[in-house]
A and B are shown apart, each in its own frame.
Chain A
Amino acid sequence: QQQVKQSPQSLIVQKGGISIINCAYENTAFDYFPWYQQFPGKGPALLIAIRPDVSEKKEGRFTISFNKSAKQFSLHIMDSQPGDSATYFCAASGMGRRALTFGSGTRLQVQP
């Protein structure tokens, strides 16, 4: 019940296109859902996060959509750029714990 399932495993998008990464969770006690971006040789960097009381959050080109009833959330990267090429991880936490349960990651490649 602690799992967070992420798809797709890899994604190739053309420059200027929209990148969409999906995650699904099982534990209804999760109440914090962040997305992280990781470049090779670096630690994950927090991109954007959402809580279940809102259905959408936008920060610049990055948008999280959240569907509480379906227990799903997704990351949309608008106007994708080659510099966005990285691995993206969704995560979840809750029950007063700081421990994050991570998805398996999506390797995004944005082609020029």
Chain B
Amino acid sequence: KAGVTQTPRYLIKTRGQQVTLSCSPISGHRSVSWYQQTPGQGLQFLFEYFSETQRNKGNFPGRFSGRQFSNSRSEMNVSTLELGDSALYLCASSWRENTEAFFGQGTRLTVV
């Protein structure tokens, strides 16, 4: 069974630009969550999607948004990039609530 696939693996963007990251969950998983990982703040929850609906959102500004498609693939978008948005963005998929969440390898975003 293929794991969680995130693309691209690495991105370099300039301040003020926007970026879109993609996540393909494990086949059969309908839940996708996104996390931001930084050395200072650790792993922080961004948002969660289930059956194309955002179920929960973390404490991040509105510049961070996401969506989920009918095939459960998900994208997250960050607009008006700031230097502090440099981080490893991780996607996790799970079958249902409070069950195992499996992470992808992440997208390393660098904002210059």
Contacts and interface: CB of A to CB of B under 8 A. Distances in A.
B102 interface: yes
A21 to B, nearest CB: 15
Interface string A44-79: 111001000000000000000000000000000000
B42 A98 contact: no
A104 interface: yes
A46 B90 contact: no
Contacts, number: 67
B48 interface: yes
B43 A46 contact: no
Contacts of B48: 97-99
Interface residues of A, number: 25
Contacts of A42: 105-106
Contacts of A43: 4, 6, 90, 103-106
A14 to B, nearest CB: 27
A102 B67 CA distance: 23
Nearest to A97: B56
Contacts of A102: 35, 42-44
Nearest to A49: B100
A32 B100 CA distance: 9
B100 A34 contact: yes
Interface string B2-33: 00101000000000000000000000000101
A100 interface: yes
Contact of A98 (B6, B43, B97, B104): B97
Interface in B32-83: 33, 35, 42-45, 48, 50, 55-56, 58
A99 B33 contact: yes
Nearest 6 CB-CB pairings of A with B: A43-B103, A102-B43, A32-B98, A99-B45, A43-B105, A44-B103
